[in-house]
Amino acid sequence: MRIRIAAAKRGTQSDEGVKSLAELVTDASALLYHAVVSGQNIGAELRDPIIRLREAVTAGQSVSAEAESKFLNAYARLAVLVAPVTAATLRATSRHYQSDAWLARVFRVQTMSAAQFASFLFGFLAICLLVTIGIGEGIRTFIAAVISSQEEVLKVREEMRAGKLALQGLDEQLKALDTEQPQPNQARGIVKAGLTKQREELDSRLSRLREQQLGLEEKIAKGYDTLGRITPFVDWAELRNVIVPIANMIGGFFLPLMYGALGTCAYILRTIYAQMVRRSYDARRGGEFIVRIFLGMLSGITLQWLLVRDGSTVPGGITPAVLAFLGGYSVELLFTAIDRLLSAVTGSMKTAPAEKGSPAPVNPENPAAGQRMTGGQ
């Protein structure tokens, strides 16, 4: 790290990304007081060089190379002693600084640390994901109910079609009896009575099926009305014929992405909480958390492609939603599954040539005998 004495006297930053000596002294003092307050035993060999140089820089005195060297040595040893806490993490977890973040202005919070802002931000994102998942699950539930009702309507229509054919057959049999034997006959009367009774029972059954069909059609219409109220920007009446693919897309693509992102938010909030307790949160890790969210979404949907096959259940008996959440919480699950899949594919590729057969082994003492044996075979 480059340090300029002239910049140290002014207390400004000498070059972009290079701290002045005054700033380093301020950081070392904050770290020293944190170590003391935390109950750590800081020896005089670490404490005194920092205090002396702080007094010199504050008074505007010149700093010798020897004092600067002792200070840097003490600061380095102190940083190792209190790691992973640094001056940057102390500032990121301290509320003694005025916050100009938009979240602080919205909630009228006068002071807010960077760690608190990050926790509020990811907590708000988790709430948004929960609301989105709730809407998605509600839409999928209503779609599943509509699909089930449509399948029942098809079954009822098939039964009604078969019942009408049977009713038509009974009417033809009764008509044939009246045509072939116009005169009263005891046997004819018994047969006619039986056919008439079957016709009445079949007619009653068809009436019940009509009522069931009307009820199911009304249920389907109400289901589409409910879907229209939930998502008014979608015309579900025009999507009746493709509602099954839409349900599969919501359940197999959209919701796993949201569950993966929610699992990642849970991991990030847990990590931030632990770092706030240890005073080790670094605001520069915000970019890592954003990348982790994208990895969690990718893991949530990809794990189902790798671990769930068509017509099979999820390993361990867990639901696909839980699998996607776990994939987002621990993206290492995705890498483990990919490694296992690669091992399986590589192993099959290595064993495939061996199964085709290999040439007969050659005796190193008599190679010609091995060649004759192969030729004889």
Between helices 44-59 and 65-82, what is the axis angle to 10°? 130
Indicate the average pLDDT of the chain: 80
Residue 69 shares a structural domain with residue 158:
no
Residue linked to tokens 């700033």: 23
Last residue of a domain, which of 67, 83, 99? 83
Residue 377 inside a domain? The answer is no
Residue 218 shares a structural domain with residue 256:
no
Residue 225 shares a structural domain with residue 280:
no
pLDDT for 15 equals 38
Last residue of a domain, which of 239, 266, 281? 239
Q: What are the tens digits of pLDDT across the range 112-156?
A: 788 888 999 999 999 999 999 999 998 888 888 888 988 999 999
Residue 324 inside a domain? The answer is yes
3-state secondary structure of 231: coil
Q: What percent of the chain has pLDDT over 70?
A: 80
Last residue of a domain, which of 239, 260, 286? 239
Residue 230 shares a structural domain with residue 249:
no
pLDDT for 317 equals 64
Residue 231 shares a structural domain with residue 299:
no
Residue 196: CATH number of its domain: 1.10.287
Residue 70 inside a domain? The answer is yes
Residue 158 shares a structural domain with residue 73:
no
Residue 252 shares a structural domain with residue 340:
yes
Residue 174 shares a structural domain with residue 228:
yes
Residue 114 inside a domain? The answer is no
Residue 165 inside a domain? The answer is yes
> What Cα–Cα distance (Å) separates residue 234 from each residue in 51, 90, 193?
68, 50, 56
| Model pTM above 0.95 | no
Start-to-end Cα distance in the chain: 76
Flag whether pLDDT at 271 surpasses 90. Answer: yes
Residue 151 shares a structural domain with residue 196:
yes
Take residue 32 and report the two structure tokens written for it: 């020293």
Residue 376 inside a domain? The answer is no
Number of domains in the chain: 3
Residue 275 shares a structural domain with residue 326:
yes
User: 205: domain range?
Assistant: 142-239
> How many Cα atoms sit within 13 Å of 375 on the Cβ side?
6
> How many Cα atoms sit within 13 Å of 94 on the Cβ side?
13
Residue 132 inside a domain? The answer is no
Residue 333 inside a domain? The answer is yes
User: For residue 347, what pLDDT band results from cuts at 50, 70 and 90?
Assistant: confident
Residue 255 shares a structural domain with residue 342:
yes
